[in-house]
Amino acid sequence: MIRTHNLALVGFGNVGKELVRLLIAKETVLREKYHIAWKLTGIASRRIGWVADCNGLDPFALLDGRFPQVPAWKKPQNIHAWLETADPAVFFEASSLDRRTGQPAIAHIKAALESGAHAVSANKGPIVYAYQEICDLARARGRKFYFESTVMDGTPIFSMFPHCLPAVELRGFRGILNSTTNVVLTEMEKGFSLDEAVKKAQEIGVAETDPSNDLEGWDAAVKVVALTIVLMGVPITLDQVERVGIRSVTPEQVRAARAAGMRYKLICRADRTADGVRASVRPEQLPMSDPLALLEGTTSALRFETDVFGLSIIEHKPGVIATAYGLFADFIRAVS
């Protein structure tokens, strides 16, 4: 028996659009294998405002930039009115991260759960600033809160531990979690300045117009906090992460390290201590015998140390579709 689920999405940028394309491309397998059908009833972004229709929006028209023309008096003016009109079974939060507060994504997710929708997020802010509160709300409402896309895109990091590694104790992790700095450091090895390397990263679509969050280690630090809170069960804050970005490393130092058989990488770490967890993000010189030293371009990796064994996961050169896939997979888990 196939059940149709209303879907609503905040954030209709690259990730949001790729999610819609993925839903269209996987429509047959969703029906035949999972007995799932879907209807897009709401999208929202800063540019287009709150768009909703409980009868369904045309996904092809939306991807083509053609949005329904609705009189201003009839158009939802806030998240609550939008949710009431869209009536989603699953809500997706794919807006931009505010690393200082996690808003408005936190408010969006809470409103969605309170309206009776499952919540799926690609935004790290709600985990960093309101993880336990949101989990408690989801439990109280009998809904699910998933967020696989927040770290390493669609790689099954968060879902792996409860489902595949029950009862293990995670003692620490170490890895490379920021694509921009990985690309920039590689380009600096080739002889480019920091600014030239950043421009290269922007040209291939990896770096933002303002790359400060990446270069100063903020993006990586947010991911460290999210992993520590969820997987290690320790509610650390962003200011507890010892953070040093790659602006402190000169091109000359990068090339000298490479000539000496070493490579600079921005390394994320968290380790259990007697008092909790010690977490850091900083550029480190790694020997070429270290697997992390071999990572190129947008490839990310994590090495987990548990009380049972060590485990490494590598995500090879992901694109936007990888992030969208994390949202897509969480959708299936939420309604199955």
Domain range summary for the chain, segments of one domain joined by +: 3-154+321-335, 166-317
| Predicted pLDDT of residue 257 | 97
Distance (Å, whole) CA 114 – CA 92: 14
Give the strand pairing for 118-121 and 145-146: parallel
pLDDT at 216: 97
* Predicted TM-score (pTM) of this structure: 0.95
Which residues have a Cβ under 8 Å from the Cβ of 299 and sit 6 or more positions away?
176, 179, 182, 314, 315, 316, 317, 318
pLDDT reported for residue 34? 97
| Architecture field, domain 166-317 | 2-Layer Sandwich (3.30)
260 three-class SS: coil
**Coil, strand or helix: which one is 85?**
helix
Instruction: Please give the pLDDT value at position 244.
Output: 98
187 and 194 in contact (C-beta within 8 Å)?
no
pLDDT tens for each residue of the chain, 336 residues long: 899 999 999 999 999 999 999 999 999 999 999 999 999 999 999 999 999 999 999 999 999 999 998 888 788 999 999 999 999 999 999 999 999 999 999 999 999 999 999 999 999 999 999 999 999 999 999 999 999 999 999 899 999 999 999 999 999 999 999 999 999 999 999 999 999 999 999 998 888 889 999 999 999 999 999 999 999 999 999 999 999 999 999 999 999 999 999 999 999 999 999 999 999 999 999 999 999 999 988 899 999 999 999 999 999 988 899 999 999 999 999 999
Q: Could you say which of 2.102.10.10, 3.40.50.720, 3.40.1440.60, 3.40.640.10 is the CATH number of the domain covering 3-154+321-335?
A: 3.40.50.720
Q: In what order do the strands lie in the sheet with 90-93?
A: 49-52, 36-45, 3-10, 90-93, 118-121, 145-146
* 97 Cβ neighbours under 8 A, 6+ residues apart: 105, 123, 124, 125, 222
